[in-house]
């Protein structure tokens, strides 16, 4: 009988300001991650917490996992380091892109959790947390990608954004959005 391996996942929670501490507690974020992993049949290996640490500091775990951004010649190299870029397999002129099992798994988990947060819909208001990523995620699914593949596309886009921010030492500015309810 063949044993199926249970996927192990890493959770990431953070609160970076006093106003956020009043609205979303760390324990509530942990509860939501645990519930989501249970609903998906995933094993939660660890939860990383950034409590009250500003996003402008180099003390953040994700920043430390990446290290010096200048060691990556491009966002593609960072994606490969994080295990997000597909691996090309094949011979004789025929190739197929497969999911990478290589790379920094902690960094991969951080990008995964960030991507999930970007495409989530608020329970009460039914509004997407980030309309641009929500629409991008749904567009990828409409193109025929599975939800997992669409989420990897979101992760890859996040790598591009974070790479650019770190390389050019700029803050993220969210483009103007019109509010919509999720369908």
pLDDT at 17: 56
pLDDT at 2: 59
| Distance set, CA 9 to CA 40, 67, 68 (Å) | 11, 22, 25
pLDDT at 15: 67
Give the contacts of 33 (CB within 8 A, at least 6 positions apart): 11, 13, 44, 47, 113
127/29 Cα distance (integer angstroms): 18
pTM of the model: 0.63
pLDDT at 51: 59
Q: Report which of 116, 135, 114 is spatially closest to residue 179, judged by C-alpha positions.
A: 135
Q: What is the mean pLDDT of each run of 10 residues along the chain (183 residues)?
A: 64 64 69 82 72 53 77 92 88 84 87 90 82 93 94 93 87 64 59
pLDDT at 82: 92
pLDDT at 76: 93
pLDDT at 137: 96
């Amino acid at each position: 009988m063949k044993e199926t391996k249970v996927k192990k996942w890493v959770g990431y929670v953070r609160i970076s300001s006093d106003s956020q501490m009043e609205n979303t507690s760390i324990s509530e974020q942990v509860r939501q991650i645990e519930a989501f992993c249970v609903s998906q049949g995933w094993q939660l290996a660890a939860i990383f917490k950034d409590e009250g640490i500003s996003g402008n500091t180099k003390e953040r775990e994700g920043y430390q996992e990446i290290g010096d951004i200048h060691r990556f010649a491009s966002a593609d190299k960072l994606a490969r380091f994080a295990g997000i870029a597909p691996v090309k397999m094949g011979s004789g002129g025929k190739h197929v892109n497969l999911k990478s099992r290589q790379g920094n798994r902690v960094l991969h988990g951080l990008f995964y959790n960030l991507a999930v947060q970007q495409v989530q819909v608020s329970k009460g208001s039914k509004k997407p947390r980030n309309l641009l990523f929500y629409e991008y995620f749904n567009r990828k699914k409409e193109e025929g990608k599975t939800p997992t593949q669409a989420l990897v596309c979101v992760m890859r886009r996040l790598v591009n954004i974070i790479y650019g921010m770190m390389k050019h030492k700029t803050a993220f500015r969210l483009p103007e959005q019109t509010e919509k309810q999720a369908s």
